[in-house]
Amino acid sequence: MAQPELEIIVVDDGAPFRIWSHGYPFRTVRWHFHPEFEIHLVTATSGRVFVGDYIGAFAPGNLVMTGPNLPHNWLSDVAPGVTIPERCIVLQFGAAFIEACSGLFPGLDLLGLIDQSQRGIEFSDAASRTVAPLMQAMLAADRLGHPAIFLQILEQLLRDKCRRLLASVGYETQPATYMTQPLNHVLDHIARNLSCNLCETELAVLSGYTPSAFSRAFHRQTGMTFTSYVNSLRINRACRLLTTSDRLVTDICFDVGFNNLSNFNRRFQAVTGTTPSTYRHRHRENDRALLRSEESARPGHLSIVGNRT
């Protein structure tokens, strides 16, 4: 097989995971890999699934978990020109998060699930029927509802005794080799150097493409222009800094790679619909509301809602 393409996963608002859905055709429907874990539920179409060195068939309800840097792809048998509004739901999360969950809940065999996912895990139809409505609910829920549903999903995956491993015994991912693909190297360079000046022409040289060929290849792999892609990563990093630190907005602006505050504010508002300061304020209001809700739910907590006569 050709070298898989790197997918840079952007997690919104500094959350530990990302859940989203997409249709078919879509830019991520290709032979690709990423450092994050993924739980992938097919909701429509059938076709061929590729995970590591495994090739098999899939149909609606196909539920698979892949580990970090494990190449994968689902190719639907859809006639040319036909568009499917939703083909799958995708839940992605980092290694640090799932390992932290394992430490918090030692009674769960999450380490076993983590280890098995290095070869890709296909879950049973029964597990899929239980997990599918949970993933739909998580997709529709706000960020306050995500953690509880995520733990329910993990519980059902762990209970599935009929799950099977996909890639062959001894199969090993080779992320260093995958990175020899020209654009993979460029995407990694962008992610590591967001705070620096990033010039499309210079990165075209780095990739070995001509500027025009680089622009076409970049859009095919990411679904965005070079400028839009870089700005989206910078705004996402700014969101994380705004919600996880007390740093000044001006400092964050320059830290994420913008060279002036007015441009940063304009780009940020175009993406989030609000200014950086308002975004931080609303996020903290949300956190305070969650804290009050948790406190009121504790045993023995007395809530006085008013007097009755």
10-residue mean pLDDT series, the chain (309 residues): 76 74 88 94 96 94 97 93 95 90 83 93 98 96 88 95 93 82 85 90 90 89 85 86 88 93 92 88 72 58 40
- pLDDT in the model for residue 308: 36
CATH superfamily of 179-283: Homeodomain-like (1.10.10.60)
- Domain 5-165 and domain 179-283 have a common topology: no
- pLDDT in the model for residue 249: 94
- pLDDT in the model for residue 294: 53
The domain spans of the chain are: 5-165, 179-283
- pLDDT in the model for residue 30: 87
User: Exposed (0-12), middle (13-18) or buried (19+): which is 60, by Cβ within 10 Å?
Assistant: middle
CA–CA gap between residue 76 and residue 93 (Å, rounded): 25
- pLDDT in the model for residue 276: 93
Q: What's the CATH number for 5-165?
A: 2.60.120.10
CA–CA gap between residue 203 and residue 199 (Å, rounded): 6
CA–CA gap between residue 167 and residue 220 (Å, rounded): 28
| Reported pTM | 0.71
The dihedral of CA 70, 76, 80, 82: what is its sign? negative
> Given strand 37-42, what is the order of strands in its sheet?
17-24, 84-93, 37-42, 63-66, 121-122, 164-165
* Cα–Cα nearest to 78, from 7, 25, 32, 151: 25
